[in-house]
Amino acid sequence: MIREPAVKKFLYWCDQCNVPLIGRTCACKTRVREIELLQPHDVRPALAADMALIRRLLAERFGDIPLPHVVLLNKTGGVDRTDLVIVHGDRFGWLSFDPITRKFSLDIAPEALPHILPHATRGIVDLETEPAVSAHKGRIGGKRFPLATPVPDGTVIVSYRNRFGTGIVRDGQVRVKELVPVEPRTRPDPDWDVVIEKNRYHLKNLERNAIRTIKKHMNDRPCVNVSFSGGKDSTAVLHLARKAGVEKAFFIDTGIELPETVEFVASQGVEIVRKGGDFFQAVEKAGPPGKDHRWCCKLLKLHPLKIYLAGLGSCVTIQGNRWYESWNRADLDETSQNPANPLQLNISPIRNWRALEVFLYLWWQEAPMNPLYEKGLERIGCYTCPAVLESEYEGLREMHPELTDRWDEFLIRWAGKTGMPDAYHRWGLWRWRALPPKMREVCRDRGIPLNDDFTLREDPESRATPESRTTPESRTTPESRATPESRATPESRTTPESRATPESRTTPESRATPESRTTPESRATPESRTTPESRATPVQKSVEVATTKTLETPEPATPAENEFTPDEIRGDFPILGDIVYLDNAATSFSPEPVVEALVEFEHRYRANVGRGVHRLTRIATQRYWHAHEKVARFIGGEAGVTVFTKNATDAINMVAQGLSWKPGDRVVTTILEHHSNLLPWRALAKQGVALDVIGIDADYSLDLAALEETLAGGAVRLVTVTHASNVLGVTTPVEEIARLCREHGALFLVDGAQSLPHMPVDVSSLGCDFLCFAGHKMFGPTGTGVLWMRDLLLESPTLGGGMVASVTAEGYEPAEGYQRYEAGTPNIGGGIALGVAVDYLSAIGMERVHRHEERLTARLIEGLSAIDGVTVYAGRRPGARIGVVSFTLDGVHPQEAAQMLDEDADILVRSGHHCCQPLMEHLNLPEGTVRASMAAFTTEHEIDLLIAAVGEISRGR
């Protein structure tokens, strides 16, 4: 049961004034009567759209029936919208919406007859003229009779021997309710101003008590604000709070709010907190939210709130939650600690108000109100919210088809993808994962099978093309919507199922060249795009035409003054959806064009590369070769040799095994190195090769003086250093190191695994002899990597097919170019897709990516450094670091911190030693660190969320 004072289960009515009362007394001092309400005992005024709907339904059945100014609606349980309509203090009927037929109905009560009969011109069934009734002996009420006269299905008035009642006609039969004598009745018709006047005393008491509650607690925390949703309850609370002296208020824009709400919020001088995530990207991965699975609230509301409160600090937040809104709020106390955020103490000053009190108060105060209420919405919120009734959503289709069409299209597509029956989207069954009892009954009555856990059972026949499924337009009746012909058809919309088949699709190589690419500024905005599958991606506009072998350098994607924003590309990464991914130093995600390139290889031209002559091998060979050229161009390495490897580790090992070593040779590396650039050189000790490790300064900069001294000692065959640390994010001065290597005759290898994804890299500027990097860290597939060499400096460590030009009984002649280092069948699809990945990055512009990540890195370092108990390990100089930041929290193990970030904030980071244990020992970090690493798709909001979440962990340690 809802916890509430017993009085709240009743509505009071003054028959003399003919007005509803929120207290036991009327201003006229006349005795009042009680009207027992139905659970959940919430009652509200019928507003403009409600009144129009009731008038229409009455007119359809009975003719032009006048309604008084004051009509109330008592929400009650049902399959969808079900309201008890109260007129003149009497039960007038039940207004309901059937989500299956998509129609409203009004089942009138016997108490309505005195008000309807004097005006009714149709819808009256005279039972005395019906043979079945005339032949019946005994009681009429409660019985069912066949009708000789055709009567449309629905509620009717029945008359029999000067007595009247109501009945329901179904399939040519009428079920008669109780028959009673009816006396026409006339009542005063006051308007809502009169109702307010008669309730003024009670409204003053409500206001006084609410303001007293606010003042009692507004100083419980250092600051105070109002949580504003744009609905009536938060509007009342905002008005009350401002009377109490509270001015600050905030609104969290989820990105799927109705435009009227956002406009109304702005008009109230409320701070708008930006949206926390892209709902339509997340829903492609997570599926529709449900009343029993509201994942969207965490993404779109709790995460932005976490960031907002982190900047604000501990606060009292006044909110408009009421007991009558939901069972979850039925035991709401005056104050409550926000369970999702310890910084927020919530105050609920109108928790015992019903909707009627809220409306009367706002009208009394002449406070502005969201216009959506007058348009027929009872609940104001996100238009995709599962808590929206199907009846309300039907109205939204009329108001905002540009919004609802997109959601309808998704639901239809998701139903087809998951094998759900048409009822899933047609009847609104998507609103639950496990259906509640009332919806189980609906499904049982209509033959919709359920699983044992009350989820919908998959229907294999439902996995059909969109053309054979129900369209958004067919979900509603012709009377309630524009005709299908006036709207876009499903066939004209792009869905995964309706795309061209692989055989008919263009490959990445056959799309527009970089030279013909439009700039990001000329693309459609995220709001104007359709589903992620139908969006044009940067690479779909930029990848070269392979068959033309065009190798010209792409023109700059965008002038330098036009900064990059992640919104340009996030739609290409559907996996991001409902997570914050900050583990890119381990592996990044692949955008859709890269994934499509892999699929196209497998579906269209999977064949081995080499000297074959059939069409598939020629296509594969040409595109695999072309991918090498793309990668070479990306690093400015056209003059050298670009070899595809499994990863950066493989590439480094190829150098370690491919150089000829002799005892006494020395290799020089640094304390910053990943194990992959340390262990292969240690292994050379068996060949008599010594290893020197150069240290770092207090600011994590490489000790160049120590390096120069080591080189001066002679016998250094190779210097191998990371371009950017995967722990500290610092970059090494590779150009200066290259100069020192040339002066002392040493070869120079650069591990670019961490630098290639984050900054422009040109081997001609670096001055290195070898550059190694991994594809999976730069939007490419896993199992791909690159070894670039200034010349053919290595012996191939692996021999076999594909790496030779000819083989004789005495020996072999190695192939020219990269082929001599790629023995056996390579990762052909991965290599081709890696070429697409570098084109994707080129289309964005690596300088733009670098500037973007530089800003994010500075923001993250500054934010983390300001948190008590957090120690940041990152490069000090903005111009000499990438988007990798390590940190520790006092008293919290790095692994525990990473797990808390995942579970509490959906933030994915790395924890531990990061394959750099010698560096961790040097830094005295035996447990390692927490590491956040960025990519081009990382947003400021995600960085702010990480800072807020770390602050929360730190405060709770």
- Weakest mean pLDDT among 157-166, 406-415, 686-695: 157-166
Q: What are the φ/ψ torsions at residue 682 (nearest 5 degrees)? A: -65, -35
- 109-126 exposure pattern, b = at least 16 Cβ within 10 A, e = fewer: bbbbbbbbbeebeebbbe
Neighbouring CB atoms inside 10 A of 793's CB total: 14
Candidate ranges 102-106, 176-180, 184-188; pick with highest mean pLDDT: 102-106
Do the beta carbons of residue 637 and residue 661 sit within 8 Å? no
Q: Identify the band that residue 478 occupies on the pLDDT scale cut at 50, 70 and 90.
A: very low
Residue 768 has pLDDT above 60, yes or no: yes
Annotated catalytic residues are: 915
Q: How many Cα atoms within 13 Å fall on the side-chain side of residue 520? A: 24
Evaluate if residue 11 carries a pLDDT over 90.
yes
State the Cα torsion 676-682-683-684 to the nearest 10°: 120
Q: What is the pLDDT of residues 302-325, one digit of tens each?
A: 999 999 999 999 999 999 999 877
Q: What number is the average pLDDT over the span 347-366?
A: 96
How far is residue 654's CA from residue 108's CA, in Å, rounded to a whole number? 85
With 60 as the cut, is the pLDDT of residue 703 above it? Answer: yes
Per-residue pLDDT band at 926 (split at 50, 70, 90):
very high
Q: For position 328, what pLDDT does the model report?
A: 59
Give CA separation, 222 vs 93, 271, 595, 949, in Å. Answer: 51, 19, 51, 20
Residue 520 pLDDT greater than 50, yes or no: no
pLDDT of residue 816: 83
To which H or E segment does residue 858 belong? helix 846-865
Predicted confidence (pLDDT) per residue in 28-40, tens digit: 998 899 999 998 8
* Helices 828-844 and 846-865, packing angle to 10 deg: 80
**pLDDT digit string, tens, across residues 844-880:** 999 999 999 999 999 999 999 999 999 999 988 998 9
pLDDT band for 329, please (50, 70, 90 cuts).
Answer: low
516, with CB counted inside 10 A (0-12, 13-18, 19+), is: exposed
- At 521, the pLDDT band (50, 70, 90 cuts) reads very low
pLDDT of residue 491: 36
Contacts 24+ apart (CB under 8 A), 149-153: 149/125, 151/125
Give yes or no for a contact between 116 and 62, defined as CB atoms under 8 angstroms apart.
yes
- Whether residue 760 has a cis bond before it, omega within 30° of 0: no
Q: What is the mean pLDDT of residues 80-92?
A: 96
* CA 224/CA 249 separation, integer angstroms: 9
Q: What is the pLDDT of residue 133?
A: 84
Q: Is the pLDDT of residue 202 over 60?
A: yes
Condensed to tens digits (0 to 9), the pLDDT of residues 578-627 reads 899 999 999 999 999 999 999 999 999 999 998 788 999 999 999 999 99
Task: Return d(Cα 728, Cα 427) in angstroms, integer.
Answer: 54
Which range has the worst mean pLDDT, 116-130, 452-466, 471-485, 882-896? Answer: 471-485
CA 185 to chain centre: 56
With beta carbons less than 8 A apart as the criterion, state whether 733 and 752 touch: no
Residues in the chain: 957
Tokens, residue 129: 């003229």
pLDDT of res. 463: 62
Q: Is the dihedral of CA 629, 634, 638, 644 positive or negative?
A: negative
- Of the listed ranges 92-101, 254-263, 272-281, 647-656, the least confidently predicted one is 272-281
- Distance CA(493)–CA(28), nearest Å, equals 63
Residues 6+ apart with CB under 8 A from 767: 734, 735, 738, 739, 741, 742, 748
Which range of 167-176, 596-605, 812-821 scores highest in mean pLDDT? It is: 596-605
Q: Which residue has the higher pLDDT, 773 or 8?
A: 773
- Which residue, among 705, 752, 694, 700, has the nearest Cα to 730 in the 3D structure? 700
Give yes or no for residue 513 having a pLDDT over 60: no
Higher pLDDT, 178 or 534: 178
Calculate mean pLDDT across residues 335-352.
91
Instruction: Work out the mean pLDDT of the chain and round it to a whole number.
Output: 88
Letter for the amino acid at 445? D
pLDDT above 60 (res 255): yes
pLDDT of residue 493: 35
- Give the H or E element holding residue 132: helix 131-134
At 725 the pLDDT is: 97
Kindly report which listed range (392-396, 544-548, 632-636) carries the lowest average pLDDT score. Answer: 544-548
For residue 373, the number of C-alpha atoms closer than 13 Å in the C-beta half-sphere is 17
How many whole angstroms separate alpha carbon 318 and alpha carbon 346? 6
User: Which residues lie closer than 8 Å to 906 by C-beta, 6 or more apart?
Assistant: 298, 299, 303, 578, 579, 580
* Beta strand ranges found along 782-829 (DSSP E): 785-789, 804-807, 812-814
Neighbours of 736 (CB within 10 A): 14
